[in-house]
Amino acid sequence: MKFGERVRALRKAKGWSLRVLAEKVDVGFTYLSRVENERLNFGDYPSDALIHRLADALEADEEELTVLAKRVPDRIRRRVLQRPDVFGALANCDDKMLDKVLGTIGGKAKNKSTRR
């Protein structure tokens, strides 16, 4: 799922129009429409502050929205910088190995149909 699709789904689940959500997060509704339709120019991508406001307004997982916006959440960025060796090794793993690692550390593997 893409960032804009997720924002739209969350907004619709609340029964809100674009104008209502735009007012709640203090942006223009036309900009929000471009966000939802993935029609942004390079410099127009949502800021961390807007992602935070969207997550708050939509009662959504901010880290999920951050990742969908193709940004790295601060918590993850800090850890990568602390242990680049580990994250470098993980980057070389195929999905089967990553699922095994995740199972070992107590996480939940993604369903194969949702894996990218």
Do 61 and 16 have their domain in common?
A: yes
Determine, yes or no, domain membership for 76.
no
Entry pTM:
0.76
Is 10 in contact with 60 (CB distance < 8 Å)?
yes
Express as a percent the part of the chain with pLDDT over 70.
Answer: 91
Two structure tokens written together for 88:
């470098």
Alpha helices in 42-109 (DSSP H): 48-58, 62-68, 74-82, 84-91, 95-104
What is the Cα–Cα distance from 109 to 65, expressed in whole angstroms? 19
Q: What is the tally of structural domains in the chain? A: 2
Do 52 and 95 have their domain in common?
A: no
| Rounded (10°) angle between helices 84-91 and 74-82 | 100
Do 13 and 38 have their domain in common?
A: yes
| pLDDT tens digits, 1-54 | 999 999 999 999 999 999 999 999 999 999 999 999 999 876 678 999 999 999
What is the Cα–Cα distance from 27 to 19, expressed in whole angstroms? 9
The parent domain of residue 90 ranges over: 83-114
Do 64 and 9 have their domain in common?
A: yes
